[in-house]
Amino acid sequence: MSATTATATLTNGPGAAAVLAAGIGSFALGLFAVLAEKITTLKSWTNFYNPTGPLSGVTTMAVIVWLAAWAILNLRWRGREVRLVLVSRIALALLAVGMLLTIPPIADLF
């Protein structure tokens, strides 16, 4: 198959998987940051690297969730057309919530 044909038939599945996974990763970052601050056990568990403290575990876990979600969604949606408008809305909502959860006064509400 030529490169031209391959790109011409590219479905929206892989792109949708990438944006949704980025949304999930961003949300996971905000969620883990809040949970690590509120739950003492989680705070000490996320202390992967002592000089950096819980930040090391929170960010490592968020990156793992992001990459795992990307790999799984890409496997499921590769070569498929998905409802991109819906997927994009969910991804952007997750991104927005993830960003909001990193703001200290908002995180303190929980």
Partner 1 sequence: MEITTRSLWTLIHGMGFGALYLMACSGALVELYRRYCTHNSVEPSSRDETFLRVYLAVMAGLAWLAVVTGSYIIYPWYRAKPPAGTANLAVYPRYLLLSSPTTSGWHNMGMEWKEYIAWIVPIAITMAAVVVMQYGRRLKDHPQLRNTILCFVWASLLSAGIAGFFGAMLNKNAPVEGGDTIHLVQGESK
Minimum CB separation of residue 110 from partner 1 in Å reads 14
Q: Does 79 bind partner 1 (CB under 8 A)?
A: no
Phi, psi angles (nearest 5°) of residue 13:
-55, -55
CB of 48 to partner 1, least distance (A): 11
Query: Using the rule CB under 8 A, which residue among 39, 49, 76, 80 binds partner 1?
Result: 49
Query: Distance between CA 64 and CA 39 in Å, rounded?
Result: 20
Query: At 29, phi and psi to the nearest 5?
Result: -60, -50
DSSP string, 58-86: HHHHHHHHHHHHHHHHHHHHTT----HHH
- Cα(33)–Cα(55) distance, integer angstroms: 8
Give the alpha-carbon dihedral of 14, 27, 65, 76, to 10 degrees. -30
d(CA 51, CA 88): 38
- Which of 35, 42, 68, 84 binds partner 1 (CB under 8 A)? It is 84
103 is a contact residue toward partner 1 (CB under 8 A)? yes
Write the binding mask 9 to 28 for partner 1: x where contact by CB under 8 A, - elsewhere. Answer: -x-x-xxx-xx-xx--xx--
# chain residues binding partner 1, by CB under 8 A: 40
Binding site for partner 1 (CB under 8 A): 7-8, 10, 12, 14-16, 18-19, 21-22, 25-26, 29-30, 33, 49, 51-53, 55-56, 58-59, 62-63, 66, 70, 84-85, 88, 91-92, 95, 98-99, 102-105
